Structure 1
Amino acid sequence: MGSPHTVGIVGLGVISAQYLDLFALSPSIRVAAVADLRFDRAVEVAATVPGARALSVDELLADPDVQTVVNLTVPAAHAQVAHAAIAAGKSVHGEKPLALDVAEGRAVLDAAAAASVQVTGAPDTVLGTGIQTARRLVDDGAIGRPVAASATWVSPGHELWHPAPGFYYAPGGGPLFDMGPYYVTSLIHLLGPVVAVTGAARRARAARTIATGPRAGERIEVEVDTHVSGLLEHAGGAVSTIVTSFDAVATLAPPIEVHGESGSIAVPDPNMFDGEVRLASLGQEGWRTVAASAGYEGSGRGIAVIDAARGEGRASGALALHVLDVMESLLRSSAEGRRITIGTTVERPPLVPFTPASEWARFGG
């Protein structure tokens, strides 16, 4: 074992606990420092992580002991924090979306290239056994030539459970930018990059009411579209559809289905790392469950940092930028009433071979 790869976490909101839990499983990762706009929060979290120091954001970004900055700030701050980390010579892993728009995201990647540092981005749920096992079925020809896919996620809105949901209804939020990255990234892993999109988006209400926490009863302004439907044309010829909504109560639709000339795959929730993959084959009755055959077993949020430190980089900044381009183009298509050609592309990330936790957790430092 070499020295552990050191990370500093900026932004200690709800999602940070999942990253800390994952990093605690790997002796090859060391959390050197944590920072938050609320310094008392940083002190509280640091006390639970052996060896971690509570720092200000500026101190963490300047800390020579930090190799990779894990950027868990709100979407509006993603690009700003990434640029500051890159300027300090550090690699960056960011929560989704990469930035508020494609121009901002491209500037982040250009700065990283100039500084010879790496950018990776969420979601890394797609590197778990759920999406990767489905991907292996596609690659192995289990459904023949892929022709179509569907992706569906609906909810009545995050204000029902989140104590401070304002950022979900501000630029960089909405159901597409919040949940869409899980589904669009999965579709790219399964079917390849997107070359054109057509979208339709609506905003059902001008305001939402917080239902829980100390701000319960407070109304927040809705600045983004809260129901988005889209059609994605993939470079390989397949066509997929996506629905994301904060305006629906529930659905029985599967998270993702992929259809080919000789079979169909029911893909598990891409917001999770595992889940049941099912296959229906032409000429056979019913669906059968497929055992996990690819992906990081038992992984969690932050596995992209480990994947990058192992030299793989499957959750690349280029992929995050392409996903951002697809989402931005869906909204622009709706606003302009026309089909939009996607200006970016990306290589389909390599399949993750089935990798037990005992292997990925100790990758060599």
Structure 2
Amino acid sequence: MGKPLNVGIVGCGTIVGQYLASLRRLADVELVAVADLDADRARAVAKEWDGDVRAVSVDELLAAEYVDLVLNLTIPAAHAEIALKAIAAGKHVYGEKPLAATTDAARQVLEAARQAGVRVAGAPDTVLGTGIQTARKAIDDDLIGRPVAATATMVTPGHERWHPDPDFYYAPGGGPLLDMGPYYITALITLLGPVTSVIGAASHPRSEREIGSGPRAGERVPVEVDTHVTGVLVHESGALSTLVVSFDAVATHSSNIEVHGPRGSLSVPDPNHFDGDTRLFRLGADAWETLPVSAGYLDSGRGYGIADLAATPPTHEPRASGTLAYHVLDVMESLLGSAASGASVTVSSRATRPTAVPLTDLSRTGVGAP
């Protein structure tokens, strides 16, 4: 865009610290304002920042001429509302996942952005790090042959054990699929391409959860969503991915993601992280080998997708585009629809596989366009 992108953050909850750590390192973005319904939280963030950051109300930030992009870190139920207000004020939007609580709301966001001539992008940008990108390069370099299948597994007893305010994890827009699924499905699309159809099953074994930490410890919150979801994703490439996400299991020996082809298998690192080892088991080998880091943004963190957007020409979509985030949401909503109906569901949306990220160090150096 030719100059630093001025960013205003709406929502100063638990995740904001990870974004702040990244924004300190990026040359192409500049934090200028923060807002939260709890004004004290916004003031605390502004105070700890080494620079001129204003703590303002949400409405003031959305209207501010000095803000180019709104970083939307609100709860999922508020994602679309804040995004639409920011777009109406002529601002770009980068949002936490999911893009919105429903595909209907997400469509409104993308259409509003199209009409306003602004851009929408969003988490997860973990797929831009060296972990997933090194695995992608191994696939693109034909180390395993044409991918045939993949597995993706995420199980945990539930976030109420550590999160002081876990209510939104168990409300519409939450659950393991909409909370953690975006990391895994975005990674699968990055590795294997878009999804054309799904078939799923889901369960909801508990009606409430007990908060395990913080001032509300011992309080119970209702569970309004499925907390164990499994399914098969049929990719446009012909590859089949098997997905399991759960807030009802304790542990697993399974790799986060594995990708299999006729000449080898890949063990892919945790898509909730930006780095990690990619391991390859070649046909005829005796053991796994760890591949050298060969692609992705080095030492990256949450918010690197904003720098990627800042450097992407207006004629191109950023790698963590709103179109991709919408497709991921559509896949997840289709999985839940399939689980409810017991039938395969065609995924109506399409997204192109994002361009690969060459090995790049963004630490105060800026980013090259995709």
TM-score by length of 2: 0.96
Distance in 1 (alpha carbons) for counterparts of 2:115 and 2:157: 43
TM superposition shift of 1:5: 1.4
Partner of 1:342: 347
Partner of 2:95: 94
Secondary structure of the residue aligned to 2:169 is helix
Matches within 5 A, 1:296-315: 296-311=297-312, 313-315=318-320
- Structure 2 unmatched ranges of 5 or more: none
Label 1:39 to 1:359 Cα distance change in 2 as closer, same or farther (>3 A): closer
Label 1:358 to 1:46 Cα distance change in 2 as closer, same or farther (>3 A): closer
One-letter amino acid matched to 2:271: P
TM superposition shift of 1:285: 1.6
One-letter amino acid matched to 1:331: L
Distance in 2 (alpha carbons) for counterparts of 1:85 and 1:138: 38
1:333 aligns with 2:333: no
Identity among equivalent pairs (%): 60
1:243 aligns with 2:241: no
Matches within 5 A, 1:9-88: 9-49=9-49, 50-88=51-89
Distance in 2 (alpha carbons) for counterparts of 1:155 and 1:132: 25
TM superposition shift of 1:29: 1.6
One-letter amino acid matched to 2:322: G
Distance in 2 (alpha carbons) for counterparts of 1:2 and 1:148: 42
Matches within 5 A, 1:273-312: 273-311=274-312
Contact 2:25 2:364 in 1 (8 A): no
Deviations 1:194-236 (A, max 9, x none): 0000000000100011111100111100000000001000000
One-letter amino acid matched to 1:45: V
Give me the CA root mean square deviation: 1.3
1:353 aligns with 2:358: yes
TM superposition shift of 1:245: 0.3
Contact 1:28 1:363 in 2 (8 A): no
Distance in 1 (alpha carbons) for counterparts of 2:27 and 2:255: 37
TM superposition shift of 1:362: 6.4
Distance in 2 (alpha carbons) for counterparts of 1:155 and 1:358: 33
Secondary structure of the residue aligned to 2:323 is helix
Contact 2:210 2:217 in 1 (8 A): yes
Contact 2:311 2:367 in 1 (8 A): no
TM superposition shift of 1:363: 6.3
One-letter amino acid matched to 1:267: V
Contact 1:67 1:91 in 2 (8 A): yes
Partner of 1:152: 153
Contact 2:265 2:281 in 1 (8 A): yes
Partner of 2:326: 321
TM superposition shift of 1:48: 1.1
One-letter amino acid matched to 1:200: A
TM-score by length of 1: 0.98
Distance in 2 (alpha carbons) for counterparts of 1:358 and 1:335: 46
Distance in 1 (alpha carbons) for counterparts of 2:72 and 2:28: 19
Distance in 1 (alpha carbons) for counterparts of 2:283 and 2:252: 27
Secondary structure of the residue aligned to 1:196 is strand
Contact 2:204 2:227 in 1 (8 A): yes
Matches within 5 A, 1:158-307: 158-307=159-308
One-letter amino acid matched to 2:146: R
Partner of 2:109: 108
One-letter amino acid matched to 2:336: L
Contact 1:25 1:361 in 2 (8 A): no
TM superposition shift of 1:357: 3.0
Contact 1:194 1:235 in 2 (8 A): yes
Secondary structure of the residue aligned to 1:150 is strand
Partner of 2:137: 136
Contact 1:306 1:360 in 2 (8 A): no
Deviations 1:81-100 (A, max 9, x none): 00000000000000000011
Label 1:362 to 1:191 Cα distance change in 2 as closer, same or farther (>3 A): closer
Distance in 2 (alpha carbons) for counterparts of 1:349 and 1:3: 24
TM superposition shift of 1:360: 5.0
Secondary structure of the residue aligned to 2:48 is coil
- Structure 1 unmatched ranges of 5 or more: none
Contact 1:4 1:28 in 2 (8 A): yes
Question: How many residues end up aligned between the 2 structures?
Answer: 364
One-letter amino acid matched to 1:329: S
